[in-house]
Structure 1
Amino acid sequence: MSLPTTEDIIEDLTFFDDWEDKYKYIIDLGKQLPAFDDKWRTTERLVKGCQSNVWIQPDTEGELLTFSVDSDAIIVRGLLGLVLAAFDHKTAKEIVEFDISNYFQSLDLEKHLSPTRGNGLRSIVERIKNIAKASI
């Protein structure tokens, strides 16, 4: 099962009236993430700046970058689903140029996250954008 697009996510989240339902949707996104290989749970793949453990394994498919991700927190797995909708199976240039702040604003997301969760989300985005920049 593939993750929805950023446009689908924005549309789906506007359907819900309260944030409890939106959180459930985000958690369900995390449940759709593919299994993460245990051999990738290494300190090199661990994202610094996250309250929870978050691992990112980049790969390439031709010109496209792909990411395997995981976290030990269910809400963070959901947030990773939101991030992957924006960045997975994209070129490095598309990743670097994507306006993630605008996407998060469209979701009305950051004001509903704790400050530490918001910092962790920014660390995840920064890590993926740095991976993309390094491959240009």
Structure 2
Amino acid sequence: MATEAFEELVEDFEFLDDWEDRYRHVIDQGKAMVPLDEAFKVPATKVHGCASQVWLQPKIENGVFQFDGDSDALIVRGLIAVLRALYNGVPVAQVGQVDARAELGRLGLNEHLSAQRSNGVRSMIERINEVALAAA
């Protein structure tokens, strides 16, 4: 189960031949995001378990999950953009059914992220699932 935005990202990745190009594309995705307002960069929105500073600001409107996020690291900001493509627009009751590991595997991210980055992504996914579960 993936959103249309994530499917478009998968298609983009299919045209990129090597990991360096994919890595740059992830960073470009992060650069294209609107920065999170400083008012939301507080302990309540900070994600622990990430080597970088990471903040996620979830919003649930009409039963649909959305979130904004930010990081002080370019690649992590890009990973937030990838997770936004995966989760934004999913009905909140279905967020827990998203197999993020499998979906990110379609991009080749599972094999190319450092252990620290993988742990950070896992922490972000856990936070997303916790928020959705509490709201469902």
Could you say which TM-score interval applies, normalised by the shorter chain? over 0.9
Q: Any gaps of 5 or more consecutive residues in structure 1?
A: none
1:106 aligns with 2:115: no
Q: Give the match for residue 130 of structure 1.
A: 130
Q: Give the match for residue 49 of structure 1.
A: 49
Structure 2 counterparts to residues 1-136 of structure 1, below 5 A: 5-136=5-136
- Counterpart CA distance in 1 for 2:122 and 2:28 is 21
- Counterpart CA distance in 1 for 2:35 and 2:46 is 16
Q: What are the Cα deviations for residues 25-59 of structure 1, in whole angstroms up to 9, with x where unaligned?
A: 10111012122110111111110100000001111
TM-score normalised to the size of structure 1?
A: 0.93
Considering only aligned residues, what root-mean-square deviation do their CA atoms show, in Å?
1.1
- Counterpart CA distance in 2 for 1:33 and 1:73 is 13
- Counterpart CA distance in 2 for 1:12 and 1:37 is 29
- Counterpart CA distance in 1 for 2:35 and 2:116 is 26
- Counterpart CA distance in 1 for 2:27 and 2:99 is 23
Identity %: 38
- Counterpart CA distance in 2 for 1:64 and 1:121 is 22
- Counterpart CA distance in 1 for 2:135 and 2:84 is 18
- Counterpart CA distance in 2 for 1:91 and 1:35 is 24
Q: Which amino acid aligns with 2:69?
A: V
> Structure 1 residue 74: deviation in Å?
0.4
Q: Any gaps of 5 or more consecutive residues in structure 2?
A: none
Q: Which amino acid aligns with 1:16?
A: L
Structure 1 segments of 4+ aligned residues over 6 angstroms from their partners: none
SS at match of 2:106: helix
Q: What are the Cα deviations for residues 72-107 of structure 1, in whole angstroms up to 9, with x where unaligned?
A: 000001000110111112211221111111101111
